[in-house]
Structure 1
Amino acid sequence: MVALVSTVAYLGLEARAVEVQCQVAPGLPAFAVVGLPDKAVGESRQRVSAALTAMGLALPPKRITVNLSPADLPKEGSHYDLPIALALLSAMGIVDTEQMADFVAVGELALDGRVIPSPGVLLAALHASESEKGLICPAAQGSEAGWVSGGANGMPVVAAPDLISLLNHLKGNQVLPPPAPGQVDPPEHGPDLKQVKGQETARRALEIAAAGAHNLLPLSRKGP
């Protein structure tokens, strides 16, 4: 059986759909990740294995193959840890494969099974919302994904602090509360050029530099 879990690949400010396919087959014990992964993705094998060990689970003594499809799309980043772990747990029969079809998963795994933040959660949430799916992400980034969910009636967001809490939530043994959307801090206003009287040339130079995000180097003239 091949277990499938949805995730994303980040290309600039765009999130592309990626399908994590996991197969556990008879053969010499091995754990391979294919599909054009970079070094961080290739190291997911060690992080996933350690996270499962921390939960009291052991990898099956079989040939484990994880394919990141489409195979010609470069895969970069540590956010593939969580979807790879969920695909492996689905292939082992611990997680319901049909249930995972309703979610997009992103997140890095610590060696003790914690789900820790990874860049790009907001892009993943936008992609999940467009695909009419829920999002599984680190608890620390739940408020960021909550911007897209639009509250309790919007896109479901499962913000998991660790892998075992996530499994209990998926099995119905525990309920992870939906994250609240993040709050925007009020802007802090500094000095205003309106307070400067005269100095038209200097004010104009400051306005041009600010508009173009240029640096300024103050110069001072010393008299004879």
Structure 2
Amino acid sequence: MVALVKTVAYLGLEARSVEVQCQVAPGLPRFAIVGLPDKAVSESRERVQSALAAMGLALPPKRITINLSPADLPKDGSHYDLPIALALLAAMGVTDAEQLTDWIAVGELALDGRIVASPGVLLAALHASEAEAGLMCPAAQGAEAKWASGVPVCAARDLVGLLNHLKGTALLPEPERGAIERPAPVADLKQVRGQETAKRALEIAAAGGHNMFPLLT
């Protein structure tokens, strides 16, 4: 069978839809990822396999193929770990593939099965809101993901907890929206009257990342 899980690819400040397709078929044992993956995505095989082993699961002795569609869109980043693992678990029959159709998944996997933070969760949440889908993400980024209004967020600490949530045996709480911390007040050049030449020199030094020590000597 072929199991499908939705995720995203980040292109600057835009998130594009990506479908993770997993097929487990008879043949010589192998685990291949295709669809223009970069080095981080290709290494996902080792992280996913180790995370499943930490759960007491072994890969079936079959030909496992992961396709990241569309195949002509470059894929980079470690956030593909979670959707790849979910697609593989669905293809193995460990979880119900139908439950995953309404979710977009992002997150990196640790070797012990923990779901750790990865960049771009807010972009993924905004994309999920536009697609009217929920978002599965690391627990550490649940508060960030909730800033996208109207998006159901399933924020899990590890793969076991996420699977138990999908099975209904131990539901995960909905994360709270994170609070914004106001930055501490700092000195402002607007408070300085006159001294236009000195202020201009400081602005140029700050814009170019230059050392201001020569300006003070």
TM-score tier (shorter): over 0.9
Question: Aligned residue for 1:213?
Answer: 207
Aligned mates of 2:182, 2:198 — CA distance in 1:
29
Question: Aligned residue for 1:68?
Answer: 68
Question: Aligned residue for 1:164?
Answer: 160
CA 1:65 to 1:194, structure 2 compared with 1: closer, same or farther past 3 Å?
Answer: closer
Instruction: Map 1:100-179; keep pairs closer than 5 Å.
Output: 100-148=100-148, 150=149, 154-179=150-175
Instruction: Normalising by structure 1, report the TM-score.
Output: 0.90
The one-letter code of the counterpart of 1:97 is: A
Question: Aligned residue for 1:25?
Answer: 25
For 1:89-142, what per-residue CA distance to the aligned partner results, in whole angstroms no more than 9, with x for missing partners?
110111111110000000010000000011111111111111000000001111
**Taking every aligned residue pair, what percent have the same amino acid on both sides?**
73
For 1:57-81, what per-residue CA distance to the aligned partner results, in whole angstroms no more than 9, with x for missing partners?
1111111111111111111111111
Aligned mates of 1:88, 1:102 — CA distance in 2:
17
Structure 1 SS opposite 2:136:
strand
Instruction: Normalising by structure 2, report the TM-score.
Output: 0.93
For 1:175-217, what per-residue CA distance to the aligned partner results, in whole angstroms no more than 9, with x for missing partners?
11111111111121112335434424323544x549x834453
RMSD: 1.7
Aligned mates of 1:100, 1:135 — CA distance in 2:
10
Q: Does 1:44 align with 2:35?
A: no
Question: Aligned residue for 2:186?
Answer: 190
Q: Does 1:78 align with 2:74?
A: no
Aligned mates of 1:14, 1:194 — CA distance in 2:
35
Runs of 4 or more consecutive aligned structure 1 residues displaced over 4 Å after TM superposition: none
Aligned mates of 1:132, 1:180 — CA distance in 2:
19
Aligned mates of 1:188, 1:45 — CA distance in 2:
44
Larger Rg: 1
Question: Aligned residue for 2:58?
Answer: 58
Structure 2 SS opposite 1:178:
coil
Aligned mates of 2:164, 2:147 — CA distance in 1:
25
For 1:22-71, what per-residue CA distance to the aligned partner results, in whole angstroms no more than 9, with x for missing partners?
01111111111111111111111111111001001111111111111111
Structure 1 SS opposite 2:45:
helix
CA 1:82 to 1:194, structure 2 compared with 1: closer, same or farther past 3 Å?
Answer: closer
Aligned mates of 2:100, 2:71 — CA distance in 1:
21
Aligned mates of 1:200, 1:28 — CA distance in 2:
74
CA 1:215 to 1:44, structure 2 compared with 1: closer, same or farther past 3 Å?
Answer: closer
